[in-house]
Structure 1
Amino acid sequence: MEFESEKEMQKWLSNIFAKGQCLADVIINYEEFISSSDHLNYPDSSHQKIAHSFLHCLKSFENHEVLVEDKNISLNSDDILRPDFLLYSSATESIIIVELKNQKSSTRQTATEIGAYAAELRSYLPFLSEGDLVNVIVSSEWPTLLCHFTYNEIVWLHKRIICLEPTHSGGERALKIVDPYLIFKEQMTPSISAQQLGGYQICLYDDQLYAGGDYMRLQEFENSMFIALNAMSAKGNSLKAHGFAFLWRHRFDVGFAPYNITVMNFASFQTPMLTIENSTVNENIFSNKLIKAIHDHNPEGHSNTLDIISDYAETFLKEFCSPRAEGYSNWQTLKPRIFTEIAIAFVGWGYFQDRLFDRLAKMPKHEEADIRFESTDPLFAIAMLNEIIT
């Protein structure tokens, strides 16, 4: 170990800051990491997120000041919350939480403390976004549990975290950016199966059709339908969910619901089955209990999260139609119906929104319109989904 204790590590870093130096001054591979393009070659977008998180954090490392060092920040005098360092970066207008760890057994404590400090900061700054909160973990060891925690916080919860470790340079103590590969090397990016996506159709019934009204009357409300789609995307992102929705209408005058929204969300409890079936995964007591629960209850992804997203959309739909959820199933069953009719628009949230815009950014511009594609283009979206869903 480079330091005998966390206290020694804190004293060293405190002296660095007292001399007017910043984190960038003591990280030996700071410039190398910033100028490197290795992260562009990572095969998976989740792996790239790790590197992008590191790069995001580094922007705050050249100009910052100490707000508190090992002081209680709790607004409640009965609670004790003492981050090792809280820094303020004037360059990025960010708060930097620095957490020091010098032993393998403190991994769970690290996860708990970082979350607690961030929550308490929002008592002072209630609108502090994840993009303006930089988490720095300095650890002499990077056991599996700490790597798993960091991976999930960055990839699935969109936290901005960077991992550093103590080292030596020219006989002096220093810090080094941990290789992102260390964080994601043992992580498996689950292949996405159509079974992992649960959902249903929100049928937009036009009550006036029961009295012989115009079948295309709802066409004048398509803008309101687009607003409902955007509301679904916003709500899905706020819930940190991962899914998408298609707006489509019948090709012919069929039934009393001319328009439909097919909404899908990750069926979280289908993912373990596909992960555990991977030959590289070792079974344990928990995995066996989880498999049994899934077999007993067969959850298909029609969870509260999906209902919250749909209910939010219905707020904007009820003014001109009677929305009703029907056809509960998975993507394999619901997908064909969309494209035998007239697909109108697409929105995504979470992972699917990220992948849509990643693909959009790589597309050449349309020569005449000088644009790439509409982000809601259903044909562009289905091509993207076909690439990532088996």
Structure 2
Amino acid sequence: MNFQNEKAIQDWLRELLEQKGELRSTISVPDTFRSTNPDANAIWASFMRCLSFTLSNEILYDDANISKDKGKVLRPDFILNSPENSGYVIVEIKNAAKATREAGTELSAYASAMRNILPISSEDDYIKIIISQYWPTLLERYVCTEILTNRRDVLCLRPDRKGEGIVLSVVNPECFIRSLSNYSNKIIINGYHISLTDSNVYFRNKFDEHRMDKCVPGFLNLLDNLKSRAEHINASGFAFLWKDHHSHPTSQYAITLMNSITVPQTFISKPQFRNYNSDYPAINYTLSRLVDVITEGVEDFIMVEAECPNTWEVLRNVMLLQSHNDVISFKAWGNFGDSLDRSYRSGNIINNALNIGITAVSDVIDRSS
């Protein structure tokens, strides 16, 4: 279905909203969708969540400048409210192949500006809808990044002719996955062995050999905070909390903290990035920030030491050797959290933190190979 220009789509959509007061009845959705690719299913799930924002709509801003900064212009095609869930919808219309390249940048700017004009408590309070007849690679990649990495909901629609009328068809998620398949990536998982030591260990009159055991609930809460922080910065990784049965007497508990980096093969083939081709771990700033979360959480009574920066293969063996399989908890985020969720949804409940974690991590590695 070809509109002459974006204004023609705007006029049509405006009339539709004024007449019906909602978008849902104009959106054509396939009866079912199921893919063997989990990313395609995740994109579809995001599309379906967005539909709840289209059951009832009113126009709040219609091609109006929403910027409060003097001299700056931000004009989304539409901002709609969604009374059903007290949410909002940003609608961006594109009708030219070249123009779609800027859609991602514009939508991000609009979302940021909305916090200054609407009562938004979190990013779950709004969704983005992109209506376009053209879906070039850059736009497809933007959608994948928003949904799969940033965990933000986007709905992608294409105008189509149906009989005498026009419908907005949900774009097949497989189209976006094809854009990802053109890139060959390598997943690298590196991290630290983090020892947790009682700060009184060197003071005989204060040291209590059982005090660390009493701190386990606090360590579990620490892992929850660690996961929340990691998800906030869109990291992908995992952590094991385990009892250290190694002969070293001072460190009774430890955390194996891992972070994954997805590196394009074209990147690691360059000689100046040879560290990514070697066995030496590429420790990045994200890991340092997560170590800080652990340190700040227990600094009043526990000494934290991040040591042995290495690959997952090495640190896994260290954990298995020193823990004697006495693993207390496993937390995962990003791709590893998705793997854990899939395992739970399929009924694979393993009542053992070590086996749960090893299975989830292996699943991500197998899917990326």
Common topology (TM > 0.5) = yes
Residue in structure 2 matched with residue 55 of structure 1 by the alignment:
48
CA distance in 2 between partners of 1:125 and 1:339 (Å): 51
Does structure 1 residue 377 correspond to structure 2 residue 361?
Answer: no
Q: Note the C-alpha offset of 1:192.
A: 6.8
Give the alignment partner of residue 334 of structure 1, picking from 310, 315, 319: 315
Over 3 Å counting, the alpha-carbon distance change for 1:246 and 1:53 in structure 2 is: same
Q: Is the 8 A contact 1:228 1:314 kept in 2?
A: no
Q: For 1:137-176, what aligned pairs fall within 5 Å after superposition?
A: 137-176=130-169
Give the alignment partner of residue 220 of structure 2, picking from 199, 203, 226: 226
Give the alignment partner of residue 349 of structure 1, picking from 333, 339, 342: 333
Spell out, residue by residue over 1:192-245, the C-alpha distance to the aligned partner (whole angstroms, 9 max, x if none): 75xx11101111123443356554431111111112111110110111101111
Q: Is the 8 A contact 2:275 2:282 kept in 1?
A: no
CA distance in 2 between partners of 1:46 and 1:190 (Å): 16
Residue in structure 2 matched with residue 387 of structure 1 by the alignment:
363
Give the alignment partner of residue 254 of structure 2, picking from 251, 254, 260: 260
CA distance in 2 between partners of 1:182 and 1:157 (Å): 19
CA distance in 1 between partners of 2:214 and 2:220 (Å): 12
Letter in 2 for 1:384: A
What is the SS of the residue equivalent to 1:59? Answer: helix
What is the SS of the residue equivalent to 1:218? Answer: helix
Residue in structure 2 matched with residue 11 of structure 1 by the alignment:
11
Residue in structure 2 matched with residue 206 of structure 1 by the alignment:
198
Q: For 1:3-82, what aligned pairs fall within 5 Å after superposition?
A: 3-27=3-27, 29-30=28-29, 33=30, 35-36=31-32, 38-39=33-34, 42-82=35-75
Q: Is the 8 A contact 1:192 1:388 kept in 2?
A: no
Structure 1 segments, 4+ long, off by >4 Å, are 189-193, 211-216, 296-299
Normalising by structure 2, we get a TM-score of 0.89
Letter in 2 for 1:203: S
Over 3 Å counting, the alpha-carbon distance change for 1:234 and 1:190 in structure 2 is: farther
Q: Note the C-alpha offset of 1:263.
A: 0.3
Identical-pair percentage: 28
Residue in structure 2 matched with residue 246 of structure 1 by the alignment:
240
CA distance in 2 between partners of 1:387 and 1:20 (Å): 46
Letter in 1 for 2:167: A
CA distance in 2 between partners of 1:26 and 1:61 (Å): 10
Letter in 1 for 2:294: A
Q: For 1:93-172, what aligned pairs fall within 5 Å after superposition?
A: 93-125=86-118, 127-172=120-165
Over 3 Å counting, the alpha-carbon distance change for 1:358 and 1:190 in structure 2 is: farther
Letter in 1 for 2:17: F
Over 3 Å counting, the alpha-carbon distance change for 1:113 and 1:224 in structure 2 is: same
Does structure 1 residue 358 correspond to structure 2 residue 342?
Answer: yes
Identify unmatched segments of 5+ residues in structure 1.
Answer: 277-286, 365-371
Q: Note the C-alpha offset of 1:70.
A: 0.4
Does structure 1 residue 313 correspond to structure 2 residue 289?
Answer: no
Q: Is the 8 A contact 2:89 2:128 kept in 1?
A: yes
Letter in 1 for 2:252: P
Q: Is the 8 A contact 1:244 1:346 kept in 2?
A: yes
Letter in 2 for 1:202: I
Q: Note the C-alpha offset of 1:343.
A: 1.5
Over 3 Å counting, the alpha-carbon distance change for 1:191 and 1:346 in structure 2 is: farther
What is the SS of the residue equivalent to 1:324? Answer: strand
CA distance in 1 between partners of 2:150 and 2:199 (Å): 41
Higher strand share: 2
Spell out, residue by residue over 1:89-147, the C-alpha distance to the aligned partner (whole angstroms, 9 max, x if none): 11122110110000110122111110010000012347542322111111111122211
Over 3 Å counting, the alpha-carbon distance change for 1:293 and 1:22 in structure 2 is: farther
Over 3 Å counting, the alpha-carbon distance change for 1:10 and 1:347 in structure 2 is: same
Q: Is the 8 A contact 1:245 1:347 kept in 2?
A: yes
CA distance in 2 between partners of 1:197 and 1:60 (Å): 38
Normalising by structure 1, we get a TM-score of 0.85
Residue in structure 2 matched with residue 281 of structure 1 by the alignment:
none
Q: Note the C-alpha offset of 1:389.
A: 2.2
Letter in 2 for 1:320: F
What is the SS of the residue equivalent to 1:159? Answer: coil
Q: Note the C-alpha offset of 1:296.
A: 6.4
Q: Is the 8 A contact 1:23 1:61 kept in 2?
A: yes
